[in-house]
Structure 1
């Protein structure tokens, strides 16, 4: 199903299980998705599922593509104010591209825009543009693979204390399993430092970010025949930096664990055994079609716990449906409770295809009120799907 035919109807027999299978080479980010839930990787490799990227993910794409634009089309040397304005324009161009792309996806229409995140990203982009403009860089073209000789840094301000800098550096594991591009590599005196940019607004360092950079260090060794000296995760939107341990022993073990994970996914006999329902479901846009998720949701014996988990999604059968003053009013049977849902008609126009007895799935809503007669509170990110098969 493409975006142009998507209508919030779920034909379960034709969409479960996902037919695709993740194939190498894998990037470190894709491997972390596989690690959190291998089934999600199978969905990601399959056709027929309408995707939904959050606004934060869109801004992350804008940030990285804006940085890349500085390398492909360097900003001319100017006064700081001119550089800042040029950087801002680069950002806005990429931002409008992502807004236009988001508008093509029905599940993303109406998602709230986080202007604070946009403003922070612009500030970080300007700071990075000023740094790049002063320090210079070596841009590793997309066609360039394998070992590269160090080149002269592109900067009129070069001195002994400014490191040679490579950006968007292609690396791989040499065995066809891993490949990726390192955001930034600094060659200091007899040292090589790796940097990975993350557009998250946070100050802690999740384990998944550490593992990604450790795999980049492993690939750097296989591509350049040397081990990097240091590695750092940068949060440009908050200004924080975290050092990541990259000893040869640690990186080798992470690689072995990764190969084992890939093997387990390849040898799984069913898709269901690849599912790891839980916290990772909060950020998974394949929930509407994921049968292990809905099975997990239905098995909770505690009503209190079930009400909390229902925020991720609940499935029920329509007992009453009607329109009052241009608002849908539904009574939905869920477990041993009756959920009331009231919402303007234009919010969920797909309900015109529903009737008494229709089963629906509601995502990202809160159930409030009496335990056995809760009301579904619909927000800007809530979704409603109609089960037709």
Structure 2
């Protein structure tokens, strides 16, 4: 059987697939709705992909009913050749429909069913997701469910309330709330971060994953003064997420949270008190995923900025070894962070035992390679600084690499 030739004007310019729901932009170009919504909303592009003409923020996607009927008719004619006819697409929701559903969700007996309907609507398209988030009062209502449920979790367990909280949390995570939306949540619910801490302590795996993802988003927009006074319990739970390693996404989110908040106030001490350093070292022993390693080394660099963090690193039997091992094995960014960690240790925690360990685990040899390798100039200078600082101790070792002797000849 010969392959059926598809008319070119049936194909979406983005996906190059037959359009199921063709829509036309103001530029006159027609796209499949799913593809153009991904381009405009998820990709945050502000131009027509074909003409490159700028589009308004509220660009209209006009359904091309004539083209859709032509495509459906063509699919029917060619059904014997294996071409399936696409069903007539459901019209996208509007804010009036969402507002009515929000009113229903405020009724206790209809809350769960309404929240589930919202989840289905959001999953259908990027446009629906955008419409739901922009509906006045909806994000605030979801946040209020989370705050109310988490504040009562120490009391008698209410299964319905917990289920509603988990559903609301899932919706907030799925919506990928805008920066302004996140700021509005914090403005109206000042204890929202504390509520997420409670959820991390008591909820199911999925809700904990959603909570840590939301926490990551919030730390990117909340002012530093608020982040500098976070409670110890939050650090305990964030470190526990890293320790559990139930999902790469949750682990990255938890590492990102620590990387952002640890330089502020006494947060480093709190993270160290939660056991962050040994957890990071043990994770790096087994972890090979590039971004996870980079984030873990960023956090270690932050924590080694204080005496307690450095003490924890050198106390761990594999601390110095795993940091030096990551040099040249992950990425240039990871190598830079690993050298920074070794620089902090060698400058402020360089006991005789530590210096001997750096020789034994070949950290010194790695530093010599950094100086001669293709690293950034700042990283090379850090390595040179370490080598200069302890050259008198390391020079006498028989296991020292030839590179070091070449760099620092005898006087």
TM-score normalised by the shorter chain: which range applies? under 0.3
Q: Specify which structure has the higher proportion of strand.
A: 1
Q: TM-score under structure 2 normalisation?
A: 0.22
Larger Rg: 2
Q: Specify which structure has the higher proportion of helix.
A: 2
Q: TM-score under structure 1 normalisation?
A: 0.23
RCO comparison, higher one (Cα < 8 Å, 6+): 1
